[in-house]
Amino acid sequence: MLQVARRRWLGESRPRIALAAQRLWSFARRVRHGTAMPIAYALETFWCDKYGIYLQGWLHCYEHPVEQLVIRIGGDSRTITEFSPRADLSAVVPDGRAGFAAYVPASPRAPVLLTVRTSAGERTLAVDLPRSSISQPTGLPAFGRFAQELNRRRGVVVEIGARLVSPGAQGLRGWFPDVERYIGVDVHPSPNVDVVGDAHRLASLVGTEAVDGVFSISVLEHLTLPWVAAGEINRVLRDGGWVFHLTHQTWPVHEQPNDFWRFSDEGLKVLFGPLTGFTVVEAGMFNRMDIYPEIRQGYEQMPLIPGWGGAYVLAQKIRHLPDGMAGWAIDPELLHRRSQEYPDHGDAADVDWPAAPAILALTATLSNDGTVCIPGETGTGVFAVATLNVGGAGAIAVSADTGAAQLPVSLAVCQTDPETGACLTPPSPTVTSMVDRQATPTFGVFVGGAGMVPFDPQANRVFVRFKSADGVPRGSTSVAVRTECTGGPWPA
C-alpha cells in the first residue's frame, strides 16, 4: 500500500479547495491548463499487486457536475458514475458527492489515465503514481536484553522448539556463552535438542522452579494449548525469571497439521501477563504484512490496514502459579500425541542423533485410562512404562515422584522383562539402566498407599523421570493416581 501525498488544481483562475483533512497530503501544486475545463482532484491512497491497481480519492469540476469518471490502466478500464459523499468538500461541491474508489484489474506497470466527463465536455489526465521504498528491519533489542540478563545471572536457560527445522537455520546457543546450562527442548529429536518432550509438560522435563529463563522462536503458534504451556513455563521458572517469546500475527499456514494460532502483542501480554504470574516488560509487533484478499469486492480497504509478521513479548515472573491454574482442557496423553504430529522433516535414520540419551515414554495402566489405582488406603497399585531412546547411548537413572503434590504414597521402580513384565531386579526408589541408541527398555512402577488419594487428575499424578548421569532431564511421563477404585482388576 502506498499513500499518495498529492493534490492538483487544473484551471488557474479557480480557488483552491481547503479541506479539514489536509493531513492526508504533504504537498500540493497548481497545474496550468489555459482555458480547458477546470478540475480539482486528489489521490489519497492507492495500492497495487500483480493483478491490478486500487485508487481512492476525490474529483471536482467546480460548476460542472461530474457525470462520469473513467480510469484507464493500459488496455483495461473502470467506469464510475456514482460518487460518494465527502463532508470535507461540502463548501465547494453542492451535494458533497465527489469521492471515488475503484479497483482496476490491470498491469501495475501500465500508465494511469483519468477521463472526466461533464456537461462542458471531456478531459483526460495522466496520473503519476509515486514510488516508495521498503524499510529495513532493525532487529529485536528485546531478545538481546533477554540474553544479556540470562548471561549476567549465569542462569539456566531453556529453549522450547530447539530443533533446527528451516534450511540454513542456526542454533541460538551462541547467544548464551555465560549461562550455567542451556537446555534445548523439542517434541522431536535433533542435534540441537537436549530433552525430547512436550512443552505442555515442561515442568516434568526440567523440574519446578529450576530455571532462570525460557524462550521460544516461532513455536507458540504450534502448541495445541498455549495457555497450558504458559502455566508450565511459570512453574519451571524461579522467582524473577525471564521469558521471551516470538511468534506470528500474520503469516501463511505452515508446518501442517500443527499450525493452530496467531497472536497479537496484546494477546501475548495476556498469555504472559498478570493472569499467569508475569509482568510485561516489553511487547510489540514488527515486519509489516500487507494483505491482498482474493475476493476484492467489499475488501478493497484491506491492503491499507497492515498485519504484522512477528509479535513478541519480554516478561518477568512475579508470582508462582498454583498447580492446576492453567488446567488441561483434554487428556494430557491425547495432547502429547497431538503434539507429536508436528512434522519431523525426514526419516529418523537421517537424523544426527544427540550424544546423550533422549527418552520417549508411554504408560500403560491396568484400567487403560491413564490412572493407577491403589486398592484401599494401604494397597499397592502398579503401572508399566515403555520407552524408546531417540538419543545417544548412555546410562539413565529412572525414578518416580508426585511432583509438587504431597501425597500419602511410596514409590518404587524396576526394569522389567519386555516379554513377561517381571522385574529384573527388586524395586527401588531409583534404577539405573544402560541404554543403547533406539533401545526400548521397559519399567514397572509400584505405588504403595498410606492414606486416601482423591481423584484429581490435574493435581494428583505420579511422574516417571529419566535423567542422565549428570542429572540432566532426558524424558518423562506421568499417570493420574487415586484410591477410590471402581471396577478392576486391581493388584492385591
pTM of the predicted model over 0.85: no
Q: How confident is the model at residue 128 (pLDDT cuts 50, 70, 90)?
A: confident
Average pLDDT over residues 401-428: 93
At 87, the pLDDT band (50, 70, 90 cuts) reads confident
Domain topology for 2-127: Immunoglobulin-like (2.60.40)
Q: Which three cell numbers stand for residue 68?
A: 462520469
What's the pLDDT band for 21 if we cut at 50, 70, 90? very low
What are residue 414's DSSP bridge partners? Answer: 444
| Arithmetic mean of pLDDT, 333-361 | 63
Q: Region 211-239: what's the mean pLDDT?
A: 93
Mean pLDDT of the chain: 82
| DSSP for 143-186, written as a single string | HHHHHHHHHHHT-EEEEES-S--STT---SGGG-TT-SEEEEEE
Number of residues written out for the chain: 492
Task: State residue 335's pLDDT score.
Answer: 58
How far apart CA 84 and CA 235 sit, in angstroms, is 57
Q: Cβ neighbours of residue 22 under 8 Å, at least 6 residues apart?
A: none
Span 242-296, pLDDT tens digits: 999 999 999 888 888 888 999 999 999 989 998 889 999 999 999 888 888 888 7
| pLDDT given for residue 161 in this prediction | 94
May I ask the CATH architecture of the domain 353-482? Sandwich (2.60)
Count Cβ neighbours within 10 Å for each residue of 413-434 and write b for 16 or more, e otherwise. bbbbeeeeeebeeebeeebebe
Residue 321 has pLDDT above 70, yes or no: yes
Domain locations in the chain as residue ranges: 2-127, 141-339, 353-482
- Name the residue with higher pLDDT: 359 or 165: 359
Which pLDDT belongs to residue 370?
80
Poorest-confidence range of 142-146, 200-204, 484-488?
Answer: 484-488
The predicted structure's pLDDT at residue 51: 84
Per-residue pLDDT, 28: 30
Alpha helices in 272-359 (DSSP H): 332-339
Q: What is the mean pLDDT of residues 176-183?
A: 93
State the Cα–Cα distance between residues 36 and 34, nearest whole angstrom: 6
How far, in Å, CA of 400 to CA of 295, rounded?
57
Q: Mind listing the pLDDT tens digit for each residue in 199-213?
A: 998 998 999 999 999
Q: Is the peptide bond before 252 cis (omega within 30 degrees of 0)?
A: no
Residue 361 clears pLDDT 70, i.e. is over it: yes
CB atoms near residue 485 (< 10 Å): 18
Over 90: is that where the pLDDT of 423 sits? yes
For position 22, what pLDDT does the model report? 27
What is the longest distance spanned by two Cα atoms in the chain? 108
- pLDDT > 80? residue 96: no
Mean pLDDT of 216-220: 94
Asked, colleague to colleague, whether 2-127 and 353-482 share their fold, the answer is yes
Work out the average pLDDT over 135-143: 73
Question: Which residues, in sequence order, are CB contacts of 238 under 8 Å at separation 6+?
Answer: 209, 210, 211, 212, 317
pLDDT value for 347 = 45
What is the CATH T-level fold of the domain 141-339, as seen in this structure?
Rossmann fold (3.40.50)
Residue 162, CA atoms < 13 Å, CB-side half-sphere:
26
